[in-house]
Homo-oligomer: A and B are copies of this chain.
Amino acid sequence: MNYDEAKNKFISTWGSLGTLWGINKAMAQIHALLLISPEPLSMEDIMEQLQISRGNTSMNLRQLMDWGIVFKENKMGERKEYFTSEKDVQELARQIAKERSRRELQPTIKILNDVSNIEEDGTSKTKELIKQTKALHEMASNLDIMMTKVVGQDQNWVTKALIKLIK
């Protein structure tokens, strides 16, 4: 496998993986491209390399910046904007975990809490609803703690310790 094959394979894998996790293909591919690019890229560069339209590129770059994993850069003397990705994968994971927690997990936890606190009326269906949503609430809360705290902690203690602990 040569460089170009490897690069394309990586970008397309990352792209289809993205859709599987609720991030669209273009967004995931732009991110992949920036992640492995040693130099910042302009919108033109990205459009050309991924064969996507200007509008698409603009919108998805914006979203990546909203996620806090892609940044604008200006080259002196140049009007054009350039973009780079967060290059430290540990920090990348931390940022993604933080955002997914904020956008999905925390709202869900809130709803599970509301639902599990309805009034007990003695019927089995109410009992079951309360029981299951309480259990999900506890699990989601634990997951939230893990996601926002474990990931991105210094690699050399929690993660490594944990993995040793379990192997």
Which residues of chain A have a CB within 8 Å of any CB of chain B?
A: 1-3, 6-7, 9-10, 13, 17, 19-22, 35-38, 87, 89-90, 93, 104, 108, 111-112, 114-115, 118-119, 121, 123-129, 132-133, 135-136, 139, 142, 145-146, 149-150, 153, 158-159, 162-163, 165-167
Contacts and interface: CB of A to CB of B under 8 A. Distances in A.
Nearest to A1: B118
Mostly, the A contact residues are helix
A121 B3 contact: yes
Contacts of A93: 139
A166 B150 contact: yes
Contact of A166 (B6, B108, B158): B158
Contact of A13 (B13, B108, B165): B108
Nearest to A21: B22
A145 B166 contact: yes
Contacts of A90: 139
Contact of A128 (B36, B112, B127, B159): B36
B111 A10 contact: yes
Contacts of A111: 9-10, 13
A51 to B, nearest CB: 19
